[in-house]
Amino acid sequence: MDARGVLDLLDLTLLDHDASEAALDGLCERANEHRPASVCVFAEHVPYVKRRLDDGISVAAVAAGFPVGDSDPAAASEAIYTAVQAGADEIDCVLEPRDDEGFPGKLELAMLIAMREASAGCVLKVIIETSLLDERRMRACARMALAVGADFVKSSTGKRGGCSDEAAGILAFEVMRHGVTMGSSPGIKLSGGIGTLDDVERLLALVNSEDPSIEGPDRMRIGASSLLDELIG
């Protein structure tokens, strides 16, 4: 895949609650020049960023806790709804792992339902934090997120581990499985430790070996802003 193809999938990210207006301006200038799939920021920065982006670039808000996700469905719902009201086009949320035999269980289902309901009208990307999970829990979280209507399942925040080849393959299989079962077309966001074009090509090959239809920004995203310098260098 060439640089333009990767840029079309890239969520260009600045997650810093203390980000200055100058830093946000710089983010928007780079986005307007190189046109990634979206710009991803904390919810409080959505209005500022949205006013400065050219048409056609989505704004993704990280809401309800990051990198540690919220554990209260009502609080998560309020945070997400606030981001939607601020103008977010997309919502990225962490489904926080628990060290419990019952994970994922009723609490996670309640969290996912709250995420989906509060983000109605927006693209919802659920971060599963695959680096902290074994295969059974990875699959269970992906299936639960897709069952409640998540548009994307995302591998990692990038703060507690990276996206492994195994995780990419598992998420791709679960997206394919859900699509075949339900007749829908959800997507995958790969994030965490993706630093080079070679990384992207390897991971996308693994995804496409499970489901060649997972392509384009409606079904495939890459969370790896450090890639931009390599892509445009």
C-alpha 152: how far from chain center = 7
Q: Per the residue annotation, which of 50, 154, 199, 211 is the catalytic one?
A: 154
Q: Per the residue annotation, which of 92, 151, 199, 211 is the catalytic one?
A: 92
Distance CA 155, CA 130 (A): 5
Q: Per the residue annotation, which of 125, 189, 199, 211 is the catalytic one?
A: 189
- Using CA atoms in the order 147, 150, 153, 154, what is the torsion angle rounded to 10 degrees? -150
Give first-to-last CA distance, the chain, whole Å. Answer: 16
Cβ neighbours of residue 106 under 8 Å, at least 6 residues apart?
none
CA distances from 90 to 13, 25, 74, 218 (A): 13, 20, 19, 12
Residue 198 annotated in active site: no
Cβ neighbours of residue 139 under 8 Å, at least 6 residues apart?
170, 174
Residue 154 annotated in active site: yes
Residue 125 annotated in active site: no
Catalytic residues: 92, 154, 189
